Amino acid sequence: MSLISELLLLPAAPLRGTAWVLRQVRDEAERQYRDPATVQRELRELERALLAGEIDEAEFDRREDELLARLENRNPWT
């Protein structure tokens, strides 16, 4: 970019920086959301809740399907 365009865009620098930070946060959240170790840990906790009687089988099946969809990197509601 030329010096003039840099000077003209200078007032928008905080917005561009904020947008970059938000993209980084979103990308990291997505990585953690789909991390197999995280999903497996949540599956173990879900099974523990079922065995402890904290949730019923219908709730277990619904949440298990969502977690398995995360592992397969697909939308669980399609």
pLDDT tens, residue order, the chain (78 aa): 588 887 777 787 788 888 889 999 999 988 888 888 999 999 999 999 999 999 999 999 999 999 998 888 765 554
Q: Which residue in 62, 67, 78, 76 sits closest to 34, CA to CA?
A: 67
- For residues 53 and 49, what is the distance between their CA atoms, to the nearest angstrom? 6
The tokens of 58 are what?
């219908």
- For residues 43 and 76, what is the distance between their CA atoms, to the nearest angstrom? 15
pLDDT at residue 78, rounded to an integer: 47
pTM over 0.75: no
Q: Give yes or no for a contact between 58 and 37, defined as CB atoms under 8 angstroms apart.
A: no
